[in-house]
Amino acid sequence: MSEAGTQGGYVATTGRTFPNLRVSDHPLVRHKVTLLSDERTDTKLFRELVRELTLLLLYEATADLPVAPVRYRTPLEETEGERIDARIGLVPIIRAGLGMVEAAVDALPRAEVWHLGMYRDEATHTPVSYYNRLPKTCPDDLVIVLDPMLATGGSAADAADVLKEWGAPKIKFVGLKAAPEGVSRMADAHPDVQVYVAALDRELDANRFIRPGLGDAGDRLFGTGME
């Protein structure tokens, strides 16, 4: 990670320090997020890049997972290794978060996948919750929220509210692009939730789209909303 991942947090162009923000400085991430954002990238390649970036970011977001020793045999002898010692839940925010699930499950094949559905009201630009498939109590030690864009931060903050009320002991957010406004909202509402993204962009425009951004992630993932 960049200095965003070190002590002291990430300093945005606004001058504010975000101790909860981790922006990847890996060359592969920087390369792929540039391709992802390019308007010439078609739906097929966009999906592939979302998958690849999700996998790379999850490696960074799970670097502090606890492990436990385990005995096993190689073809030659018995030895000791390690296994993940935590139960992990994945919560994609429908719909764009669905594009990140397959890669997340590949990285964490024993993870459980729960779903929250939210959409942005086009008039008020606020998140509206319409779907919740969480079980009665949280069975996980870590819950990772998946959503490509952290724009206003409304959906992410609301999701964290729901997950904390559900009993999630630890929450992380993994996305692709963020605006300072969204990171600021998460820092104020949920300073304990670490945010992992591929890029922190300049600002939100009047329509609450991230600039320079990449457009509507859901539309580009699913080939909808295009002329």
85-141: pLDDT as tens digits: 999 999 999 888 999 999 999 999 999 999 888 766 666 656 667 778 889 999 999
The confidence score (pLDDT) of residue 11 equals 58
pLDDT digits (tens, 9 = 90+) for 56-90: 999 999 999 999 999 999 999 999 999 999 999 99
User: How does DSSP assign 155-204, residue by residue?
Assistant: HHHHHHHHHHHHT-S-EEEE-SEE-HHHHHHHHHH-TTSEEEESEE-SEE
pLDDT of residue 3: 43
Q: Which one is predicted more confidently, 10 or 75? A: 75
Q: Determine the pLDDT at residue 224.
A: 86
Examine the residue annotation and report whether 133 is marked as an active-site residue of this protein: no
Phi and psi angles of residue 125, each rounded to the nearest 5 degrees, phi first: 65, 20
Is the confidence at residue 26, as pLDDT, over 60? yes
Helix (H, G, I), strand (E, B) or coil at 148: coil
Give CA–CA dist 163/172, Å, rounded. 11
Rg (CA), the chain: 18
Active-site residue flag, 120: yes
**Distance from CA of residue 100 to its chain's centroid?**
8
Of residues 28, 16, 29, 21, the one with CA closest to residue 4: 21
Length of the chain: 227
Catalytic option among 14, 124, 126, 224: 124
Element (H, E) at 128: strand 127-132
Of 120, 140, 147, 185, the catalytic one is 120
Note if 188 is an active site residue.
no
Amino acid at 68: A
By C-alpha distance, which of 175, 191, 139 is closest to 61? 175
Domains of the chain in start order, with CATH, are 3-222 (3.40.50.2020)
Q: Report which of 134, 46, 137, 152 is spatially closest to residue 90, judged by C-alpha positions.
A: 134
Q: Does residue 201 have an active-site annotation? A: no
Q: pTM for the full model?
A: 0.88
Q: Is the pLDDT of residue 212 over 80?
A: yes
Per residue in 155-187, pLDDT tens? 999 999 999 999 999 999 999 999 999 999 999
pLDDT band at 4 (very low <50, low <70, confident <90, very high): very low
Give pLDDT, residue 15.
65
Note the pLDDT of residue 16: 72
